[in-house]
Amino acid sequence: MADQGLNIAVIGAGAAGVFAAIHAAQGNSQVQIFEASNKALAKVKISGGGRCNVCHDVQNNGALLKAFPRSSKAMRKAFGQFAYPETRAWFESRGLALKVESDGRVFPSSDDSQSVIDILLGELKAADIPIHFSKRLKAVVAKGAQFELDFGSVKESFDRVILAMGGQAQIRGFGPLDPLGLDIVSPLPSLFTFNVPDSDLKDLQGLSVPMAKVQIPGTKWQQDGPLLITHWGFSGPAVLKLSAWQARDLAERNYKFPILINWLNWTDTDYEAFVGEQLKLFAKKKLANARISELPRRLWERLVLRAQVSLDKRWVDLSKKELNRIREQILRAEFKVSGKTTFKEEFVTAGGIALSELDFKDYSLKKFPGLYAVGELIDVDGITGGFNFQHAWTSGFLAGRASAQ
Ligand SMILES: Cc1cc2nc3c(=O)[nH]c(=O)nc-3n(C[C@H](O)[C@H](O)[C@H](O)COP(=O)(O)OP(=O)(O)OC[C@H]3O[C@@H](n4cnc5c(N)ncnc54)[C@H](O)[C@@H]3O)c2cc1C
């Protein structure tokens, strides 16, 4: 077939669409990209605060799958073929120097997302793949072995179509896909921070702890990691992970729910051991002067205040009840979340084309041989840290390669 020159259309010039197009350009295949806006790779440009967090340093696919709250089982097949090592090798072999930050996020060494864009656009150019701008797909209709694409003023038919309309499609609706009758999971925001309007810690904004656990009482929902106090509530990886994993549950609760914060991810036994040490070493010192060294001083003071204990008390003078109240503040400080705030505009959308519609071997749509869907358009969303782009590269690579065969 490839010798006869397959006619391949990619819809959307985002990360997933461009990567798919590059890999669809094999043999005699004729690849074209259709983009609704007048820009290619617009999200790559602004991603990661302009630095583009290209992917995440995870050598083991088991760990990589854990970054995808609702789709990890399905994607095992995909990541088994193209994951972090392949992504890194692909970019580096084309001259993009990459660096890994201490938390595993991978950025271009230039700290400039334009370096990533230059590599991708260079590849499109080398493969002679045009991008047709201001071409918004209005409908895709399966006609025999081909697909008719309706762009409003014109209709064109293709042998293969790769749908890569991204999260934007979620905002604008899935209208172009209507003729296909696909199962769509309704879109919801993921990756948000928690608003706590009556938090008594707001004035401590900017303080953070490196390893907290945030849990929602009465459920098994909990995540750990760094936690940041903000002027509106809480942020940081522990909160963002919880927002991603529980995106649907929290939407169902209309973003109103209690949380318990364990500031140091301690067990009750850890606390007992700490108190034992304090009584041995600092019994005659005041709480103000002999704190838990891992907690920022102002946070310690506030938690003691919340426990209704005076900072002027000496450790030796604390009653059992007072020690218990301090324990609750360190291990289970309660706050009432009411509302959410987008994380640095860096939201992703949970929802999209249902996982059951896809074969993750190559991101083909099971009901429509020759039609593929990649990137954020499908019901896959990752936690923050470069995982959403990793999915764009993986799905783009697999669908692109398969479409040309
Ligand atoms: C501010 C911000 C920063 C981010 N930073 C990071 C980061 O550093 N690392 C990370 O991993 N993830 C990051 N993300 C998430 C990541 O950008 C997305 O998951 C990723 O861009 C999805 O790629 P995509 O190609 O599927 O979709 P998109 O990048 O959204 O591309 C889709 C394209 O399709 C076009 N389109 C839509 N509808 C049509 C239509 N009907 N016809 C034709 N064209 C159409 C759109 O105009 C767009 O160009 C960030 C997200 C945001 C919002």
Secondary structure of residue 223 in the 3-state scheme: strand
Q: 13 CB under 6 A from ligand 1?
A: yes
* Separation of CA 377 and ligand 1 centre (Å): 9
Q: Are strands 155-158 and 105-108 parallel, antiparallel or unpaired?
A: unpaired
pLDDT, tens digit, for every residue of 120-179? 999 999 999 999 999 999 999 999 999 999 999 899 999 999 999 997 655 566 789 999
Least confident of 1-10, 226-235, 302-311: 1-10
Which helix (H) or strand (E) covers residue 178, if one does?
none
pLDDT at residue number 343: 63
- Could you identify the residue written with the tokens 């094999």? 26
Is any ligand 1 atom within 6 A of the Cβ of residue 123?
A: no
Q: What angle do CA 332, 334, 340 make, to 5 degrees?
A: 125
**Helix, strand, or coil (residue 19):** helix
Whole-model pTM: value is 0.88
| Whether residue 169 has its Cβ less than 6 Å from ligand 1 | yes
Give the torsion sign (CA, 245, 248, 250, 251).
positive
Q: pLDDT tens for residues 201-212?
A: 999 999 999 999
Pocket test for ligand 1, best of 35, 38, 43 (most atoms within 8 A of CB): 43
Atom index in ligand 1 nearest the CA of residue 390 equals 11
pLDDT more than 70, % of the chain: 97
The DSSP annotation for 20-78 comes to: HHHHH--TT-EEEEE-SSS-SSHHHHHHHHHT---EE----HHHHHTT-TTTHHHHHHH
- Residue 173's pLDDT is 67
Nearest CA to ligand 1 atom 2: 346
- Length of the chain in terms of residues written: 405
Please give the residue that has the higher pLDDT: either 385 or 171. 385
How confident is the model at residue 70, as a pLDDT? 85
163's enclosing H/E stretch is strand 160-163
Residue linked to tokens 């749509």: 365
The hierarchical CATH code for the domain 2-188+346-403 is 3.50.50.60
What ligand 1 atom has the least distance to the C-alpha of 396? 25
Instruction: For residues 91-95, give the mean pLDDT.
Output: 98
**pLDDT tens-place string over residues 213-223:** 999 999 999 99
- Say which residue, 308 or 341, is predicted with more confidence: 308
Residue 270 to residues 252, 276, 277: CA-CA distances in angstroms? 35, 10, 11
Band of pLDDT at residue 187, cut at 50, 70 and 90: confident
**What is the position in ligand 1's atom list of the atom closest to the CA of 388?**
11
The ligand 1 atom nearest the CA atom of 166: 27
Tell me if 120 CB under 6 Å of ligand 1: no
Residue 1 confidence (pLDDT) above 50: no
Q: Name the percent of the chain lying above pLDDT 90.
A: 88
Alpha carbon distance 32, 8 (integer Å): 6
- CATH 3.50.50.60 domain span(s) along the chain: 2-188+346-403
H or E stretch at 387: helix 387-403
Provide mean pLDDT across the span 340-352: 77
- The mean of the pLDDT values for the chain is 94
**Residue 11 CB–ligand 1 contact under 6 Å:** yes
Report the distance separating Cα 66 and Cα 83, nearest Å: 13
Please state whether beta strands 30-34 and 7-11 pair in parallel, antiparallel, or not at all (unpaired). Answer: parallel
Atom of ligand 1 at shortest range from CA of 55: 11
Geometric angle at alpha carbon 161, from 158 and 164, rounded to 5°: 145
CA of 23 to the centre of ligand 1 (A): 19
> Whose CA is closest to atom 29 on ligand 1?
14
pLDDT at 2: 42
What's the whole-number mean pLDDT along residues 328-344? 92
Q: Residue range 310-318: average pLDDT? A: 97
Torsion-angle region of residue 169: left (phi > 0), alpha (psi -120 to 50) or beta? alpha
Flag whether pLDDT at 194 surpasses 50: yes
CB neighbours of residue 70 within 10 Å:
19
Query: What is the C-alpha separation between 136 and 354, in angstroms, rounded?
Result: 22
pLDDT, residue 23, reads: 98
Q: Give the torsion sign (CA, 107, 113, 114, 117).
A: positive
**Would the pLDDT of 89 be above 60?**
yes
User: Is 381's C-beta closer than 6 angstroms to any atom of ligand 1?
Assistant: no
pLDDT attached to residue 4: 67
Residues 6+ positions from 254 with CB-CB distance below 8 Å: none
CB-based contact 185:354 (threshold 8 Å): yes
Is the beta carbon of 162 within 6 A of some atom in ligand 1?
Answer: no
42 lines ligand 1 (CB under 6 A): yes
Cβ neighbour number for residue 220 with a 10 Å cutoff: 6
